[in-house]
Amino acid sequence: MVDNVRVGNDISAIAIDPQTGEFYLAVRVGSEEVNLRKYAPDFTPLAQWGGLGQGGGTFSWRVRDIKLDAQGRVYITDGNNHLIQVFQPIEPALP
């Protein structure tokens, strides 16, 4: 069975945690918001952060890639800003 869930206008990157099955998406919503989202394996939203900007937890229009390391850190390749941003493990932040 395949699940389909609409999460935004443009998904530019995905990373899946092989230990938990949780996954991260880089999503562009509308014309003024770019954010990162974390989901449980059943598509339950767990966390969201970011916005349109030039670093410091915000992103350009196109996040190029998301990678996770063994410690749970999240690496974001922010193409238009020429940055790699690194975030500590993201704990659920949504109710």
For residues 58 and 52, the answer to whether their CB atoms sit within 8 Å is yes
Q: Does the pLDDT value for residue 10 go beyond 70?
A: yes
Where residue 43 falls among pLDDT bands split at 50, 70, 90? confident
Q: CA–CA separation, 70 vs 58, rounded Å?
A: 24
Which of the 8 DSSP states describes residue 59? B
pTM of model > 0.75: yes
71-93 confidence digits (pLDDT tens): 889 998 887 788 888 988 766 55
